[in-house]
Structure 1
Amino acid sequence: MKQGKTAQIKKMKQVQRKQKLISKNKLPEFNYNEFAGFLRARYYLTHNDKYNQETFEVASFFLDDVIAMMVNQNFTKFTSNERAVVKLNEVMQASLVNSDDKDWRYFVLLVPVLYDMQQFIVKEGSVNARYVAQAPKFDINFWRMIMRTVMAINFFKWQGKDVAEMMKTSQVIDDLQFKFLSENEKDDDFNLAIIAETFKALAVKIKPLKTENKILELNELSSSEIADELSYANKSLKQFKEASVKGVVSENVMNMLYAFHEGMAKEYNLTHTLWDADTLNSFAMSHLMSYWTPVWDSLDGIGGEVKSYLNFLSQKKAIQGLGKMVTDTSDIDRYIDVTALNKLLAQMSSERLENLA
């Protein structure tokens, strides 16, 4: 039925009041880094002391993926002035399915933090103008089943199998996830021995960095030239740490960046003045873990310090071509983060894993 004049005017005034309110409370342009950074900082402040170091680092990685998926699934709302309604179960499941570059132990260690993480995101959403989160009653056995299924999917993915086709035509993924199950009177636990045996001879598949294989063939650096490069590294890294926000550049970061100086000199005969994107990417993939021993500290985001350090070196006129170098190493941060995480997870003893799970 068509509205009368009075009703139309009333409706118009309501719209005007709403528009005025929206205009008054209009959100600034959406900035993903600021949004994600705020939630990460809040999580650190509220949960860092709650968990063991290994558990917190794993949780931090997953939180990053969840935040990214929240925005990805509700991009239009996040980038408009509308408040996004985040369906948290769907977001978390999608984030887990996309975590196909993580060691299987990652999924086992996530289970104890999922409830708290759900509560954290819901609580933050209640006071965040960008989103509100919805989550059904938490069922830990449901999430253990999801974790077992994701591990089973990854097992076949890493062998190059067409998982989507397999799920349509067979029960092998479901059969494998049931093998990973160990039932008791109260909960559905993981059969860690079976899972470990299943993945024993299988390496995690991580998307490689882009390289053009244009590594310069230079004369081998002398011992004194390498010593000079390492001396420069110590001096430069000390200045980098002093110039950074206090506490951001940890010893883990310093050791990782030092490994670039040492490894690039020894493997490619390059001092820092000749660094380029292709060689940086190649070194990160092929040699970094031989020169750097990561520890459970500030792992999530540690790879991003490579670009911060390149910016620092550029400001000091110590390297050239920063723009191209940063552009062509766009994925090196995540690659380093995940590689370091997987290395530490693979080194974890079965006893330690069982205690943390």
Structure 2
Amino acid sequence: MYGAFCIYVVLQFASVRSQMCANVAIFQNDVKQNVKIAGSPIWQFQDLGLVQCMTKCLQFSLCKSVNFNTQSFVCHLMDNDNSSYITDNNSVFSASENWPKLNLAGACFNHECPDNSRCDVNDFNDVECVVLGCVGVPNVTAVNRTVFLSKNLWLIGDVIQSPCLYGSSAPANCFPNGTWSYFVCQEVSIKDCADAFANNLLTATKIVYVDVDGSGLLSKIEVNCDDAVTVIDHDGMNRTFVDGYDPAYSYRLDLNYSPSLDHILALIQNSDYCEQFVKYECHHAEIDGYTGWVTRNDAIVTYLAGDGTIPNACACHLTNSCTDTSFKCNCDINDANWREDAGVITSRDDLPMKAFVAGDTGGITEEAYVTIGPLRCWR
């Protein structure tokens, strides 16, 4: 197979055939034929061979892989190597992780050029970093981070017409020195998304800066808005497998929020209603006596729905809809069927959830999944 590939490369890229054939054994595990990855390139070149395309990639700090068209000889430098594959009989894809970088990059091997530049070798064989554009987000209050991060590399001359969440003094221009032009964002004093919604300040990104304590000691924070609902995300919102923890509360999933606890408590105090979703999927894994969550005061509580006035209760008990109504949770049936308890916790005195704890998953057939949603508050 790879011998045939080498012949194919010789026919298509005569200018680099010796280099390609010499390295085909090295590249054979790193070149995927008839596919490319999705996404927009950070840069492109024409009339190159595959090896030359790889060399170009190593000149860019942002480049992680290449899409190469074997018919048009177009080289696309990509800033990721894990996007989904797209079938294309005229393309090959290769990620840079295992390339022989010293041989390919030459003088630019292990260069330290910033992400907004590429490594070049001048006529005196000296390495230079050539500025290509702008990267990152300017350090400006109320800047629209989403629009700046929509591209990993903005080219010199690119213009962002609306660089702020609310309003700006000027567009943002990418200057030839790789910096953004000066602009000032309009600042609006709002406590939460309810304020933003009422004053028509929500942009398409649904992100706002809020002053939860009304110009007190706390700094402004960035939050997501679902119309008038303030949404505080954490790092544990993915469905998480729980297995191998038999004693009660021996499994612990800590939830880390981007705002501080002081910010969150101020938001809760300003709100009339707060909630947090939790779902526990269980297979021979009991809730009663084994599973609960950690409140903002570091106490373990065992209710998984409602305001906590009914201990050990799940949502199905509150609505009298449990599969077996002699239990307060479906998972307490504790059998070989996959069951689920999902509900919304509403106690403003206990929220936010700081951690989820569980047990009874130590046996061969005992396992579970937990999903914890963001904190949502409104008034």
TM-score in terms of structure 2 length: 0.22
Higher helix share: 1
TM-score in terms of structure 1 length: 0.23
Higher relative contact order (CA 8 A, sep 6+): 1
Higher strand share: 2
